[in-house]
Amino acid sequence: MRVCIEKMEAKHIDAVLEIEKASFPSPWTKAIYTQEVGQEYSNCFVIIVDDDLAAYISSWSVLDECTINKIACRSDLRRRGYSTMLLNHLINKVCGNSVKYIFIEVRESNDRARAFYKKSGFAKKGIRKSYYSDTKEDAILMSLDIENFLSVSNNR
């Protein structure tokens, strides 16, 4: 099995959209992803497993903060570590660009995602009331202090 992480490009968008539609109640459009891959502040990566796109991550870095917009894996390939690989790849990419914190909003009902981020070193920082326009569900704001994360990782 061959696994590699690549910068997301236009050629990946159709496969990203398939995962997007299966993963999110309000999926982004092709136009949004086309714009994303061309933005200077965007950090978009995909994992390719044996020539098939398995997972992706999209984030924005502005000043010393990075916000994860989307991270998803094909349903038949979940629980194999691909999201962890993408998250670690993103952390390594942005920590060299003076980013100090990574943020993500997670649906309050998404216990699996919240557990994943907690296991990855994120901590709950607050609640965004009625954040999701499709359901009015609250979002849990989580953050990762990169300096703290790197010192813990280096001591393992």
Catalytic sites, residue numbers: 105, 117
Amino acid present at 82: Y
Helices 82-95 & 146-154 angle (0-180, nearest 10): 110
Q: Give the separation between CA 62 and CA 74, rounded to whole angstroms.
A: 28
- Tell me the CA distances in angstroms from 29 to 5, 26, 56, one per residue in order: 22, 9, 15
